[in-house]
Amino acid sequence: SGSVVTGYVVQWQRDTSIVCPDLRDDRDDGSVTVASSSFTGHTITGLEPGNRYTITVTVSNGAGSGPVSNAVAAMITATAPSGPPGPITLVTVTPNSAIVQWGEVLCLQRNGEITDYTVTATNSDGMEEGTASVDVDARRATISGLTPSTQYTVSVAAVNSAGTGPSTTLPVETPDGLTVSATPSSSTSLTISWTLEDSLTATSYTISYYNTNTDCFTHSRSGISASGTSYTLDGLEEGTEYSITVTATLTGNGGTQEGSTTATTLTAAPSAPPTGVVVRVESSTSITVQWGPVECRHQNGEITGYWARYGEEGSSEVQMVSGDSSGGMTTVSGLTKEIVYTVQVAAVTSSGTGAYSDP
């Protein structure tokens, strides 16, 4: 109509097809009136990073508003996500892998289109282990190459075109690949039992063992059938603790799995007498008897005490006096003057009294 321009109305609308299609807020749509006849531009603030907006301008004068201008599309520069993904859920875990899934980053914290996720597993030493295969659309990952019986912190962070956002975490502990137990079956044998985790398959087993008291090397039994779940170790020493490790050789390139335990064979009476028995005359009616330990390989269990027996030389009648487990000496009193006595000493375990020393 030729009237003087009195102002402009700038309007904008967010394209919800890119980010947060199901969420709208008061920043998605807006308008501002600029009362100026010399208007050449206006800065719109408070828009969402990483989003596309459609912008139009309408001119007005004293007679009213004119037609709406052609729409212009503007893409707001993305910034790294400002919030973490939703809580992580452990789907399944094996000795060497874990599958996890997680929730979305809150819509207004995405700051652009989420294109990827970083997924890591960190052990208690702060070292990352394993490799993650990520399904972005399903928000799910499989982490492989983990170590059995290890505590991890699994972290997930969202990625957009501007960078990586903060992470959300979940503690995950991988189970034992091979669980081992042992029970004594006799004073010279142990029954070893094991359970291989269901996701693993073995081709054979090897059992390694050693005497925790005296051995400086490890014995082994190899080539044990993969179909077995137990094995009897025989030829062991009585009343002796053994450290036992079962190793499963896995199919393909699965490597090995190990499990360990300790067990003690049943005790038996000592198979040899104490060493170095010495008798010392203290008076005309008393003597002191001293002795050293039974050789370790003949103890056959924990020594719980000692017996010293004595009697007149040539007589079948004997008397007994006890010595405690820490002993090595006892005193015999009330003897008859000028009589020759014979003295013998034996060690005791929970299974009985062992061999006596020579008179």
Rounded CA separation 18/319 (Å): 100
For the cut 60, the answer to whether the pLDDT of residue 253 exceeds it is yes
| Average pLDDT along the chain | 89
Reported as a pLDDT band with limits 50, 70 and 90, residue 229 is very high
Residue 308 CA to its chain's centroid (Å): 52
Mean pLDDT of 129-146: 96
pLDDT per residue as tens digits for the range 3-54: 787 888 999 988 877 666 656 565 678 888 887 767 778 888 888 888 889 9
What pLDDT is stored for residue 22 in this prediction?
A: 57
Instruction: Say which residue, 127 or 43, is predicted with more confidence.
Output: 127
Q: Tell me the whole-structure pTM to 2 decimals.
A: 0.58
pLDDT of residue 70: 92
Assigned fold of 5-75: Immunoglobulin-like (2.60.40)
What is the model's pLDDT at position 313?
Answer: 87
Kindly report, residue by residue over 306-328, the tens digit of the pLDDT: 998 999 988 776 777 776 666 68
pLDDT score, position 298: 86
- The residue count of the chain comes to 359
pLDDT of 146 strictly over 80: yes
Residue 260: what pLDDT? 93
In terms of pLDDT, which residue wins out, 167 or 271? 167
Residue 97 pairs in a beta bridge with 144
Amino acid at the residue 205? Y
For the stretch 58-113, pLDDT in tens is 988 878 888 899 999 988 888 999 999 999 999 999 888 999 999 999 988 998 88
| The pLDDT of residue 2 is above 70 | no
pLDDT of residue 91: 97
Name the residue among 61, 166, 48 with its Cα closest to residue 111: 48
CATH of 178-264, one of 3.40.225.10, 2.60.40.10, 3.20.20.70, 3.40.50.300: 2.60.40.10
Q: What is the band of 198 on the pLDDT scale with cuts at 50, 70, 90?
A: confident
Domain topology for 88-173 = Immunoglobulin-like (2.60.40)
Q: What tokens does 25 get?
A: 């807020």
3-state per-residue secondary structure call for 69-115: CCCEEEECCCCCCCCCCCCEEEEEECCCEEEEEECCCCHHHCCCCCC
For 221-245, what is the mean pLDDT? Answer: 93
- State residue 292 phi and psi, 5-degree precision: -100, 180
Q: Which CATH number fits domain 278-353: 3.40.50.300, 1.20.1070.10, 2.60.40.10, 2.40.10.340?
A: 2.60.40.10
* Domain ranges in the chain with CATH number 2.60.40.10: 5-75, 88-173, 178-264, 278-353
